[in-house]
Structure 1
Amino acid sequence: MMLTIEEAAKIIQSQNVKRSVIDRLIEDSLGYWLAEEITSPFDLPSFDNSAMDGYAVSGVSESYKITGEIQAGDISAKKLRDGEALRIFTGAKIPDSATAVVMQEKTRVKNNILFVEGEVSEGQHIRRRGNELSSGQTVFKPGHLISPASIGMIGSLGINSLKVYQKPSVRIISTGNELVPPGHTKELGQIYESNSYSLQSALESHGFRCEEKTHIKDDFSAIKQGIEAFLEASDVLLISGGISVGDYDFVKQALEENGVQELFYKVFQKPGKPLYFGRRDDTFVFALPGNPASSLTCFYIHVLPLLQKLSGANSTGLQRLDVPIDHDYDNTSDRPVFLKASIQNGRVSILDRQSSSMIHSMALGNALVFLNEPALISKGEQVQTILI
């Protein structure tokens, strides 16, 4: 009996996983998940500072005597008396006695006297100490995905090294007598192998990398040996093809003879029904369908969440949105279906050529529309859309 998509996802997410923690410099931590809590070691800003170029003034008046200037980084203690102004620049420390900062565009200067256009209000254009973060405040929790903004935030706290979760070691095996590497000459009856390239690229686009990949012909002994070698060196092994029920589909038997425990085989979905998931000790195996669109769809829906879980992520999987469909669509699929689609201008269109062997339409799209049951979908109706 085939599992539902939800049952398969539950099995994948319920796996106990082994994670390692490593130290990374902040400039080398992009795309990793934090393994520690980051707290602010001081108030941020750590001093009152100017939000713009202009003049720090004391008191409320139409004019002030200019007595000097403060540059960003100036650590001297400048004083202001009532009725005085200091030329000040963005980020510079505000004197304790300053009432406000007047932006440069709202002023004019004559004979060292500053004239203000408009009203001066208490605290205007001043970034107050601790306005963004207080000392000891939690900035990021473990499981936070480190983005460029995260790196900027952490760097602004003076932290240059982080504890993050090590990412899993991933290897890929493609199988099939009919497959020829791109760049080689193929004969009639052969096709160019593409799945390992798309899977490797999918890994890289989500912050993972393929440590090694190989192609093995439909020979049981060779497949068994190849699986054995890669199991020893991998946290996750992806196998493309050879998992169906044909006379030359040897992958399932080769996995069994290598001591891999089957956790499920076949999922009630389209494309991607002949999907296998298993593990041996701390190594996980996905045997993916050989059809290109099926293989990549299974990666996005089933493989990626496990890779993220292994990497310490708080939340896993691709972003899902309810998006209005741009046209009528009659879904006649006998299984829950992932349809190649394109989101443009806030609406989603289901693309032509939905066959599991066709990847061109997937390459033209940027999303998958998930439909759970047969139905006539009307233009403007909200459909679940997965961003790829």
Structure 2
Amino acid sequence: MISIWEARRMALEEVRPLGEVEVPLDEAVGHVLAEDVASDVDLPPFDRSAMDGYAVRAEDVGELPAVLEVLEDVSAGSFPRMPLSPGKCTRVMTGAPVPEGTDLVVIEEHTEPLPDGRVRILKAGKENVCLRGEEVRKGEVVLRRGHPLRPPEVGLLAAVGAERIKVFRKPKVAVVATGDELVDLGKFPGPGQIRDVNTHSLLALCRSCGFEAESLGISRDEPGELRRRIKLGMDGADVVLVSAGVSVGKYDLVPEVLEGLGVRIVFHNVAMKPGKPTLFGVHSRGVLFGLPGNPVSTVVAFLLFVEPALRKMAGFEVGELLPLKAVLDGKLSNRGDRTALRPCRLLRDGEGWRAAPVQSHGSADIASLSRADGFVVVGEGESLGPGDVVDVISLEAGCSRLREAGG
């Protein structure tokens, strides 16, 4: 079996960013920019006031207090009609253009209006003037290809007039659940049956990471139906997630069906617990993950392998996973020959973290994850005690990318 880190590396080596698409700016958040974008204007486009106050010449406020005549009021969206001259000032609002000759803006709090319409300047502090082009010059590249687009970047693109932009296309994901024992949510489980948990967990995991996913329903443990549903996903999606059927039992039919569909298996079985049967394969139109049937195993495999692959396909830079460091509150041991991932609760401790083990009844115990924030990594044959510094992989989908070198 291969290690977690080797499996992750192998999966990432097989995927590439998808093609480019043009989208309206308001649909760009969460994508990665696929072109350089230059500004069509100076930012700010004119000398403007940073505060509500009075635009003045420096020489008129050299000695304080000073009384000045107010020429006009200028609000945001209007433009001064007159330049400043000796003994004159202009009242300006935040964001408004300042008149020619302005050296500084005296804030309202440092002034006193007089009955005759003039204003007394009591104190002159900072300049409070934003100069034309001090943020961005016309023609300057403000964002380059490969830059992830968050709300601040969308705001910047709006400021430079980028109404439509090219981004990397996000992968389409299809989810296939397998198992004769599974029933849809609308049905009460009969004898020997359970509700389909993994479909909904995987859809939620994808969406919480910013990727849309579609359920192709539940396939019974029958080769023909399994082949039909998986092929439907391969034909219509970039990534297919097959839940269960990847182990070595009599009804674990997925590997054989994939072989018949021309899928090249890159790896099958990873030295980790839970999640050992995890499978990854590629075909001419995309990639496929075979995920273990137990719900905790499915979540673990998604965070370790699926999420980084989806991000790379969407154009994000994905590097080596660097787990969070935390101080262990409790005892954990691993007597097996695979890396163990034990659920834990993460607690803030000053500038660091503490990891408190969460009681779990195994990889089928989905309820334990509702009390957990992550998984403590316990090496083969390792025993850990209170105060030990441990590695933690975050349970929250998407958080792992914050700890990726280069991601």
Partner of 1:165: 168
Paired residue for 2:383, among 372, 375, 378?
375
C-alpha change, 1:103 and 1:377, in structure 2 (3 Å) is: farther
Aligned twin of 1:83: 87
8 Å contact kept, 2:334–2:379:
no
Q: Tell me the secondary structure at the aligned position of residue 143 of structure 1.
A: coil
The residue aligned with 1:353 is: 360
Corresponding position of 1:95: 99
Native 8 Å contact 1:144 1:314 kept in 2: no
User: Could you give the per-residue CA deviations for residues 45-91 of structure 1, whole angstroms, max 9, x where no partner exists?
Assistant: 12221111111111224222222111111134431123322110010
Per-residue CA shift, 1:86-125, capped at 9, x if unaligned? 110010112231121111122111132322333x24x621
The alignment status of 1:41 with 2:40, answered yes or no, reads yes
Which AA in structure 2 matches 1:143? G
Question: How much does 1:318 deviate?
Answer: 7.9
More displaced stretch, 24-33 vs 123-132: 123-132
Structure 2, unpaired ranges of 5+: 397-407
The structure-2 alpha-carbon separation of the partners of 1:21 and 1:292, relative to structure 1 and needing over 3 Å to count, comes to same
TM-score with structure 1 setting the length:
0.92
- Of the structure 1 ranges 253-262 and 150-159, higher mean CA displacement relative to structure 2 is found in 150-159
Q: Which moved more, 1:263-272 or 1:61-70?
A: 61-70
For 1:345 and 1:18, locate their aligned partners in 2 and report how far apart those are by CA, in whole Å.
36
Counterpart of 2:334 (choices 315, 328, 332) is 332
Q: How does 1:134-149 map to 2 (within 5 A)?
A: 134-149=137-152
Residue 373 of structure 2 corresponds to residue 366 of structure 1: yes
1:385/1:55 CA distance change after superposition, 3 Å: farther
CA drift at 1:293: 0.7
Q: Which letter does structure 2 place at the counterpart of 1:102?
A: V
One of 69, 73, 84 as aligned partner of 1:65:
69
How far the C-alpha of 1:240 sits from its partner, in A, is 0.2
**Superposition CA RMSD, Å:** 2.1
Alignment of 1:1-388 (within 5 A): 2-17=1-16, 19-59=18-58, 60=61, 61=63, 62-63=65-66, 64-110=68-114, 111-118=116-123, 120-121=124-125, 124-315=127-318, 320-325=323-328, 327-332=329-334, 334=336, 335-346=338-349, 347=353, 348-353=355-360, 355-373=362-380, 374-379=382-387, 381=389, 383-386=391-394, 388=396
Deviating more after overlay: 367-376 vs 253-262: 367-376
Q: How far, CA to CA, are the matches of 2:273 and 2:2 in structure 1?
A: 13
Secondary structure class of the residue paired with 1:211 = strand
Q: Residues 178 and 228 from structure 1, CA distance in 2 versus in 1: closer, same or farther, beyond 3 angstroms?
A: same
State the alpha-carbon separation in 2 of the partners of residues 264 and 376 from structure 1: 30
TM-score by length of 2: 0.88
1:271-320 Cα offsets, whole Å, 9 max, x none, are 11110000111310100000001001111110011111111112368885
Corresponding residue pairs, total: 384
| Closer/same/farther in 2, CA of residues 351 and 298 from structure 1, 3 Å limit | same
Partners of 2:25 and 2:374 in 1: CA distance: 32
Question: Which amino acid letter does the alignment assign opposite residue 356 of structure 1?
Answer: S
User: Structure 1: which 5+ residue stretches go unaligned?
Assistant: none
Secondary structure at 1:360 match in 2: helix
